[in-house]
Every structure is written in C-alpha cells, then in structure tokens.
C-alpha cells in the first residue's frame, strides 16, 4: 500500500513538474498570431497592441499574420489545422468562431471542436457611420434621406455574415429603406469607399470607427451598444435614436488549435489577460472604444456556444442569406 501511494505521489509530482517546465519553457521560438481579416481593421489593431507587449514579456517575437478572405474563414481554417503546440494562435470574432457556421454549411472547420478558447478579450459594439457628404446628422435623418434616393443606396460590411452585415440589414428590415449590400474583406477595406461617398453607410466596430469620426473623415450617428460606451459617451444608442430593440454587440477572443497542451493554454490565457488589463493597455482601449474583459478558457467556451443561439435569432430576424 505504501509503495502504491509512493508511486502515485511520484506520478503526481512528475506531472506538476512537467506542467511547470512546459510553462517556463514556452515560448522558446517566435509565435505566429493569425488575424483572419485584412490589415487596418479592429482585429488587426487590437492584435498589434497585444502582441507588441507579449513579445516584451516572452522575449520572443510574435508575428502578426493577416490572412483575410471568405468572411474570416481562410485564416480560421489555417489555425484549425495548425499544430497544437501554442505557436499558432488567432484573434477570432463572433463571425469566425460562431455565426459563420450558420451561414456556410460547408465551412472547412468546426468553430467549436477545432479550437481551444484561451480568453474572451472583450466586446465592442458598432457605430453607424456615413460619409461627410451625406446631409444627415442623426440616424432618423439618414433613413429619411435614403428614402428620397431613386434606386436606393449601397451599404458596406466587413464580410458577408459579419455583425456589421447583420446590423446594416436589420436597419433595412426595420425601416423599409432600399439598400444593397457590398461586402469587403474587412472594414478597413471598406472605409475609403465610405469616406468618398461611394458607399452610403456602414456599421463599423467602435475601435476602427471612432478614430475616423474624430478625424472628421466620417460622421458617426449612433452606436449599437445597449448602453452608451464609456469611449463614446456623446454618441446616442440606436435605441435612443428611435430604433427599439437594436442592440448588437460583437466580441473578440483568442484561440489556439484544439488539443493544445493545457499548461500552454493556461500560460497563454494568463499572459494575454495580464497584458489586457495593464494600465497602459487600458488607456489604449479607452481611446479605441474597446471594452476589455478577460476570462478563463472555460468561461470563454461557454460564451462562444451561447452566441451561436444568439446569432441564429438575429439571422432569422433579418432573413440574411450568404451565397
């Protein structure tokens, strides 16, 4: 009996030592950080802030690799099929790791089974933005102006099936305006056409919309937060602007491939959460309109699954279909 207990103790001790060793030695080479959208958008901006600090902490380079296309599916599929060793991670969204599966039945990856959630880094609602040339100062004025345009207008989204697409189409359904969807490979790609007036409106995530609005390059009319974001206290919510039940919130989270060793999962989650909440980071998030959270891998997994049901309701409400 004593020998059995002694053997068990040695096994437990060895496991603990192995866990500590894995955490201490990781990372021992550069980490590849996939952004499944083009450079310049909110996922790219958030990634570059986080990875710069993580590289300092780890003493290893963290290479941001933008793999845009197919509503984020190209980059997400790359991560899903990467070696589960902690050296390939991704900043995903509710589209890449939740709602895409509702739009694309032949998605080459499973957004739940093929990924290991690390942490929900935060949420960000969107701003309804228009070109400076459009003569509207409120969301209601925009709708009235669109109704006067023969043939309707065009609206942009970061990708088919994205939260931007859902919000823009919800506005169409609720108001009866005529508007044609023009999808882009990320909101950064759409912004020049919006600024020039080739696109009439777009719902863009606050982290990328607010800087452009503050610079006078676009006009922000309202936000989709349930309550005004602390980063945009003067911007009315869509509900305050006269559109009931119009609160839409997206999220950003960090994922690794499924079957990534637990010690590495724990270290990644802990280090990313640490950077997320550092005072210098919090100042950056505030200016970007990003509301940081930081969670355990388990809590993030629960949020990811719950969002599948939420986005299904939203998609059913708008009737969106992605060809």
Q: What CATH code is carried by the domain that includes residue 310?
A: 3.40.190.150
**pLDDT above 60 (res 139):** yes
Q: Which residue has the tokens 């790609």?
A: 189
Higher local confidence (pLDDT), 84 or 98: 84
Q: What's the number of CA atoms in the CB half-sphere (13 Å) around residue 78?
A: 21
Task: Decide: pTM greater than 0.85.
Answer: no
For residues 217 and 134, state if they share a domain: yes
CA distances from 113 to 152, 161, 252 (A): 42, 21, 18
* 231 domain-assigned: no
Per-residue confidence (pLDDT) for residue 99, from 0 to 100: 85
Q: Which range has the top average pLDDT, 21-35, 174-188, 264-278, 307-321?
A: 264-278
Per-residue confidence (pLDDT) for residue 79, from 0 to 100: 98
Distance of alpha carbon 92 from alpha carbon 84, whole angstroms: 17
* 242 domain-assigned: no
Tokens, residue 113:
């089974």
Question: At which of 223, 241, 261 does a domain end?
Answer: 223
Mean pLDDT of 23-35: 92
pLDDT in tens, 273-289: 999 999 999 988 887 77
Lowest mean pLDDT across 30-34, 135-139, 283-287: 283-287
* 24 domain-assigned: no
For residues 44 and 82, state if they share a domain: yes
Per-residue confidence (pLDDT) for residue 179, from 0 to 100: 97
Q: How many domains does the chain have?
A: 2
**pLDDT above 70 (res 143):** yes
Lowest mean pLDDT across 29-38, 110-119, 245-254, 304-313: 304-313
* 230 domain-assigned: no
For residues 179 and 106, state if they share a domain: no
For residues 76 and 104, state if they share a domain: yes
Per-residue confidence (pLDDT) for residue 294, from 0 to 100: 97
Mean pLDDT of 27-46: 94
Bridging pattern class, strands 219-223 and 115-130: antiparallel
Question: At which of 207, 223, 239 does a domain end?
Answer: 223
CATH number of the domain residue 149 falls in: 3.40.190.10
For residues 117 and 131, state if they share a domain: no
For residues 118 and 256, state if they share a domain: yes
* 33 domain-assigned: yes
* 14 domain-assigned: no
* 199 domain-assigned: yes
* CA dihedral sign of residues 293, 303, 33, 271: positive
For residues 114 and 256, state if they share a domain: yes
For residues 219 and 164, state if they share a domain: yes
Per-residue confidence (pLDDT) for residue 323, from 0 to 100: 61
Question: At which of 208, 223, 238 does a domain end?
Answer: 223
Domain that holds residue 38: 29-123+250-318
pLDDT in tens, 229-269: 888 899 999 999 999 989 988 889 999 999 999 999 999 99
At residue 91, φ and ψ (nearest 5 deg) are -95, 105
Please confirm whether the linkage preceding 27 is cis (ω < 30° from 0): yes
**pLDDT above 80 (res 22):** no
Mean pLDDT of 18-25: 58
* 8 domain-assigned: no
**pLDDT above 80 (res 13):** no
Q: Determine the 3-state secondary structure of 254 from DSSP.
A: strand
Listing DSSP states for 242-257 in one string gives T-SS---EEEEEEEEE
For residues 171 and 202, state if they share a domain: yes
Mean pLDDT of 45-61: 97
**pLDDT above 80 (res 116):** yes
Per-residue confidence (pLDDT) for residue 308, from 0 to 100: 82
* Residue 154 near residue 198 (C-beta atoms within 8 A): yes
For residues 119 and 264, state if they share a domain: yes
Tokens, residue 91:
């900043």
**pLDDT above 50 (res 15):** no
For residues 115 and 129, state if they share a domain: no
For residues 119 and 72, state if they share a domain: yes
**pLDDT above 90 (res 17):** no
pLDDT band at 11 (very low <50, low <70, confident <90, very high): very low
């Amino acid at each position: 009996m004593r020998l059995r207990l002694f053997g068990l103790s040695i096994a437990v001790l060895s496991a603990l030592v192995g866990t500590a060793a894995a955490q201490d030695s990781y990372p021992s080479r550069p980490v590849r950080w996939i952004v499944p959208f083009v450079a310049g958008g909110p996922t790219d901006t958030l990634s570059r802030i986080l990875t710069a600090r993580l590289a300092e902490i780890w003493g290893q380079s963290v290479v941001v690799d933008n793999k845009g296309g197919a509503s984020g599916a190209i980059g997400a599929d790359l991560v899903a099929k990467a070696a589960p060793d902690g050296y390939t991670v991704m900043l995903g969204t509710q589209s890449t790791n939740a709602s895409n599966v509702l739009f694309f039945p032949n998605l080459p990856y499973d957004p739940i089974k093929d990924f290991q959630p690390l942490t929900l880094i935060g949420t960000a609602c969107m701003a309804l933005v228009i070109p400076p040339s459009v003569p509207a100062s409120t969301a209601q004025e925009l709708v009235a102006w669109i109704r006067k345009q023969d043939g309707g207008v065009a609206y942009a989204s970061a990708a088919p099936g994205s939260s931007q697409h859902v919000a823009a189409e919800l506005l169409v359904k609720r108001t009866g305006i005529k508007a044609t969807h023009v999808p882009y490979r990320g909101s950064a790609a759409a912004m020049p056409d919006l600024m020039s007036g080739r696109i009439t409106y777009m719902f863009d995530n606050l982290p990328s919309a607010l800087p452009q609005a503050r610079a006078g390059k676009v006009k922000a009319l309202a936000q989709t937060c349930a309550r005004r974001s602390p980063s945009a206290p003067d911007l009315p919510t869509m509900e305050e602007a006269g559109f009931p039940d119009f609160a839409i919130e997206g999220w950003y989270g960090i994922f690794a491939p499924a079957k990534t060793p637990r010690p590495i999962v724990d270290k990644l989650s802990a280090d990313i959460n640490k950077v997320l909440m550092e005072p210098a980071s919090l100042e950056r998030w505030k200016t970007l309109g990003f509301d940081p959270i930081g969670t355990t891998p388990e809590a993030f997994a629960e949020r990811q699954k719950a969002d599948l049901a939420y986005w299904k309701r939203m998609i059913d409400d708008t009737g969106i279909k992605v060809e």
